[in-house]
Structure formats: C-alpha cells, structure tokens
Amino acid sequence: MRGLGPGLTARRLLPLRFPPRPPGPRLASGQLAGALERAMDELLRRAVPPTPAYELREKTPAPAEGQCADFVSFYGGLAETAERAELLGRLARGFGVDHGQVAEQSASVLHLRQQQREAAVLLQAEDRLRYALVPRYRGLFHHISKLDGGVRFLVQLRADLLEAQALKLVEGPDVREMNGVLKGMLSEWFSSGFLNLERVTWHSPCEVLQKVSEAEAVHPVKNWMDMKRRVGPYRRCYFFSHCSTPGEPLVVMHVALTGDISSNIQAIVKEHPPSETEEKNKIAAAIFYSISLTQQGLQGVELGTFLIKRVVKELQREFPHLGVFSSLSPIPGFTKWLLGLLNSQTKEHGRHELFTDSECKEISEITGGPTNETLRLLLSSSEWVQSEKLVRALQTPLMRLCAWYLYGEKHRGYALNPVANFHLQNGAVLWRINWMADVSLKGITGSCGLMANYRYFLEETGPNSTSYLGSKNIKASEQVLSLVAQFQKNSKL
C-alpha cells in the first residue's frame, strides 16, 4: 500500500452488528475444529456462486440474496480471529481462478495470433481469457456489496484479512491475490466521485464530533475543550464520507491556518489561537498536521491523497490569497532505525561511524559512557530530553541522520518511511526537518522529537509525482540536501 499520510493510521469507527453465534453443545477442541471446518466447507459450497459459462455470463440469474446473507451471518458469528482467518483462507484457496481454463484460453489466444486471424476473433478470445482470470470469490463479493450494509461488511472483512496476514494466521499467494482483488473492488467503490467532503465545526452534531475525536490517532484529543480548539478559529477539520453512509467519517484531516510553515506540533494542538475571530491577513499558510484513516480495511485505497486535493481547493475558495500548503508530519520508525544502527555498530567493536570524533567526545563527556552503548540505552526512553546539554549535543548528528533516513533509506527504490513515501507520491517536496518539534512521549520515543514538513507547490505536484513514481527521484529543499551532504561526509553506514 501507499504510505498513508502525516501519520495516517487507522481506527475502526463503523462497527458491524453481526448476529451472535447460535448456542450449541460444547464440543472438545478436536471435535469443534472438525465440525467447524465441515460447516465452513458447506457454507462456501452453497454461498460462492459458480462461474457461468462464457456464453451464459449475462444470462445467468444472480444467486438468491439469502445465500450471500448466510455467508455474512456465518462470518459474523465467528468470534475468534483464527476462525475468521481459516474461513478466508479456504475461500482464497478453493474459490479462486480456474487455472485449467486460464491455460486453455491463453493457448487459444496464442494460436489465433500465430494464425493472424481477423481482429474480431482475436478480441473475443482475449475477452474469454479475461473472463477466465476472474476468481470465483469475486462474484461472492460483488453480490454481498448489493446487500444492505454489504460494502461496510466487505471493508471489515478486508480489515480482518489484513490482520490475519500480519499475525501469519493465513498466508500464501492465493491469500495475497484475494486481498488484491478486494482492494481493487473497494478502490472502485470508494473513488473520489462517491466521496463527500464535510467540514467539522463546534456546531456539528455531537456524534460527528465524538467520532472525529476518537479517530484522531496521530495527536490524540484529550478532552472536549481540546476538541473545541481543533475545530475553532484558525483551525479546519474535514472528513470524507461515502455516499452510502453520509456523516460517517472514513478519513479525517486537521488543518492549522498560520502565518508561516509550522515547526512545532505543540504550538498547534496545545496553544490557543491568537484571537477568537479570524483575521484573514494573519493567515498565510495551511498546515496539514494530521490525517487519520478510520477503517483499516480501506488501507491502500487513496483516500488521503484525494482528501488533500479536495481540502486545498476548499481552502482556496475560502482564502483566495492562500498560497502556502505544507504538512507537519511525524517520522515514525526513525528511532527504531537509529537504535538498529547503534546496536549493529556496538557489536562491531565500538566503531563510531555515525558520529564525528568531536561529537563522540562531547556526548561521552555528558553521558559518562561510550557513545553508541549509552545512546542506545538513552534513546530507548524519553529521559534524555531532560538534559539540555545532551539535547544540544545531539541536534546536529540526529538532524543529519534523520535527513538521510528520509532521503536515502529506500524500499524497492522508494522512501522507506511510509509518511515520506505518501507525500512524495503526491508530488510534495521534502522541505524541512524540525528539531524538538514534538516533545510528547510519543514524539520523543518514536522519532527523537523530530518532525518533517512536506511542502506542496501546487503547480509542481504533478511533475514531482511523475518523477518520483517513474524515476524514484526525491525532490528536497536546500536544507535537507545540505543535511544529507553532511551525513555523507561525516557518517558511514
């Protein structure tokens, strides 16, 4: 999946109301497993519609609604994650593509190409091949989507599938393929044309404010007064809802309206606005400081990207003079990456290739111990920020290490950090790295208090995105490139 956003994370807000499992006799674990597996096989045999012959594909009646409803009911009655994973695994393995049909239709296409038959005959053969490549379970998902609440069910089903994969309860190419098919279907159903942009204010319904508050996973809302600040003067909050569930947030975005590009998150989420009445001449920048996905099952669907584009247009309508758009984003994974480097270099006979000799000397004088070993212990907690001397001593090396982490550390050629990857795919510029920008416990332990600005130059986002996705080039500011150069000069991995 694409990276999510400025700390784009997921929480579940749309609970499915499954019927409780029907009471029955208590069986021994072996008997229970056997009975449950037989029930699963019988359910899938009955619920998954057979693939009609190609000639009958548009003439075969849809399966009875009750068959799909039975699957939904049975699945909802499975209380254990492992049980749901088992059912999904059986569905993926037993009701996918008919590989024999795919081979037969592929051979037919190749044969016709060799004979150089007319275009109409070849096109029909290719259409037969496409038809053979559709897995059977896609038909089940398609018909479930037509049930009342069916799309919502499928969103949760994919969330369960992702969780089962993460826990390694279900694995293999068939499962990955089914996840991809379901993701593709959800991407169509949740495309931008079906999404409504809604603004949240203090006068929004209480249930909406409550859901938005609960959805905030980047910088948690502490109380109602905190929530009031985040939707009050010099702040904006928007969310996408689906046309089938108006008022239900799918992805939520918080924006601060400021005089410049913000470098500290506490100044946004804790400090009171300059006045209760907005003065437009004090607003020069829009800072996207939080995007939270509320549905884990929509992971990989480009809701965050669509939301940024729509919010920018909305803000430009409200403030025609507004020209600066930037995120203030966490850097999840930086501390973990740094601790991994410190740990590996500690094992290599005390080599100090991350720091210069003068930095090692200063850090050792402050901490009273070897640089790598001591920092490995200190950075595992938040206590090190209590020493002003250590904070000053670490600023230069950690800034350049963070710049390299965001700019130089890659996964398949793209930025390793998911938040950086998200914004760079959107065409933003890696603009600035900020020291002690998040001094909360989460900020210190997750990214040593560092945060990054990804700036959106609206005329350049298209070319930047194309360059990143096609050539894997990261557009960065002089500040970031200077820090990267310092890393390359003073540190070695």
Helix and strand numbers (H, E) in the chain are: 20, 11
The pLDDT tens digits for 133-147 are 999 999 999 999 999
For the cut 60, the answer to whether the pLDDT of residue 273 exceeds it is yes
Q: Which residues on neighbouring strands pair with residue 434, listed in sequence order?
A: 451
Arithmetic mean of pLDDT over the chain: 90
Q: What is the pTM for the complete model shown?
A: 0.85
Q: Which residues on neighbouring strands pair with residue 471, listed in sequence order?
A: none
Backbone conformation region of residue 475, classed left if phi is above 0, alpha if psi is from -120 to 50, else beta: beta
Q: Are 122 and 167 in contact (CB under 8 A)?
A: no
Classify residue 103 by burial, with Cβ atoms within 10 Å: 0-12, 13-18, 19+.
exposed
Distance from C-alpha of 168 to C-alpha of 53, rounded to nearest angstrom: 36
Q: Which CATH architecture does the domain made up of 38-97+134-190 adopt?
A: Up-down Bundle (1.20)
Please tell me which residue in 329, 344, 380, 467 is annotated as part of the active site. 329
The pLDDT tens digits for 225-237 are 999 999 999 999 9
For the cut 60, the answer to whether the pLDDT of residue 23 exceeds it is no
Domain ranges of the chain: 38-97+134-190, 195-329, 334-490
Distance from C-alpha of 60 to C-alpha of 300, rounded to nearest angstrom: 33
- The answer to whether domain 38-97+134-190 and domain 334-490 are alike in fold is no
Q: Which CATH architecture does the domain made up of 195-329 adopt?
A: 3-Layer(aba) Sandwich (3.40)
DSSP characters for 116-164? T--HHHHHHHHHHHHHHTS-HHHHHHHHHTTSTTHHHHHHHHHHHHHHH
Q: Which CATH architecture does the domain made up of 334-490 adopt?
A: 3-Layer(aba) Sandwich (3.40)
DSSP characters for 424-448? HHTT-EEEEEETT---SHHHHHHHT
Q: Are 451 and 434 in contact (CB under 8 A)?
A: yes
- Is there a catalytic annotation at residue 329? yes
Which range, 68-72, 271-275, 298-302, 420-424, is most confident? 420-424
Q: How confident is the model at residue 101, as a pLDDT?
A: 93
Please tell me which residue in 292, 423, 447, 491 is annotated as part of the active site. 423
Kind plus residue range of the DSSP H or E element containing 333: none
- Is there a catalytic annotation at residue 423? yes
